[in-house]
Amino acid sequence: MNSLSTGRVAQTLQRMFAEAEQADSALMAAFSESDQPEQLLADSIAEHFAEERRDLRGFYHGYVDNFLNVTPAYGQFLYQCARASKATRIVEFGTSMGVSTVYLAAALRDMGGGHLIGSELEPGKAARARANLEDAGLADLVDIRVGDARETLADVQGEIDLVLLDGAFSLYLPILKLLEPRLRSGALILAENAFDYENAYLEYVRDPANGYLSQPIPINPGRGNELTLVTR
């Protein structure tokens, strides 16, 4: 079974991508119209890290109406990873409007069920994500927790099969360490926007001594996508 192709999931994703394009078009245009997109990206990342560390909540409130979502290609990859790993418990850091959540929850549904725990800082985004999951017929599989993920994900119970990190860059390593005791051997960790720029997260997961095998993946080059396997 593949619910990405037809029915409520496919229809919901199609609508969400159309809404995302409209909401984020001005933001994305700044990169595509630059004569030096790579330098613009590097400067943007540096500024992002600095602002994020100064005022995490205030910084992300500025993007309350933006989806900043995964692409269809990466969403399909998430679905494939969840199914290939036979995941039944998934944790997502950075739900936003729920595009990636729909892909992951669809994989759970197509395998017979499971539980996805998401964390979203902005209440408005969490509400829209829940509505999108309802439209897709997946809401019963997902628990979206509103607030700082260092608090909302502190009491995750049971073994974790897959983690998606797609929130505040500077929190990737703290969130991973928070979840480490629950990660099963062979679990997958996918990180978006895990850029090399002053990234302690990449240093940590790429060191085999820490119990991981990790490498960048060539899906949507320039997005900083990292795939990590728990080897402990």
Distance CA 185, CA 125 (A): 32
3-class DSSP assignment, residue 158? coil
As a CATH number, domain 66-230 is: 3.40.50.150
> Tell me, what's the pLDDT at 38?
44
> Is it the case that residue 39 has pLDDT exceeding 50?
no
84-101 pLDDT, tens digit each: 999 999 999 999 899 999
Does pTM surpass 0.85?
A: yes
Average pLDDT over residues 144-149: 96
**From the CA atom positions of the chain, what is the Rg in Å?**
17
pLDDT grade, residue 61 (50/70/90)? low
Q: How far is CA 93 from CA 34, 59, 118, 190, 229, in A?
A: 30, 17, 6, 10, 17
Q: Which amino acid is at 128?
A: R
Average pLDDT over residues 28-49: 51
Count of helices and strands (H, E) across the chain: 9, 7
Pick 223 or 107 by higher pLDDT. 107
**Which residues on adjacent β-strands are paired with residue 160?**
183
> Is it the case that residue 80 has pLDDT exceeding 80?
yes
Distance CA 98, CA 109 (A): 16
pLDDT grade, residue 44 (50/70/90)? low
Mean pLDDT value across the chain: 86
Pick 169 or 140 by higher pLDDT. 140
Average pLDDT over residues 130-137: 98
> Is it the case that residue 115 has pLDDT exceeding 70?
yes
Q: Token pair for residue 203?
A: 């240093």
> Is it the case that residue 138 has pLDDT exceeding 50?
yes
CA 107 to chain centre: 15
Pick 141 or 67 by higher pLDDT. 141
H helical segments located in 137-199:
149-152, 172-179
> Is it the case that residue 69 has pLDDT exceeding 50?
yes
167-182 pLDDT, tens digit each: 888 899 999 999 999 9
pLDDT grade, residue 31 (50/70/90)? low
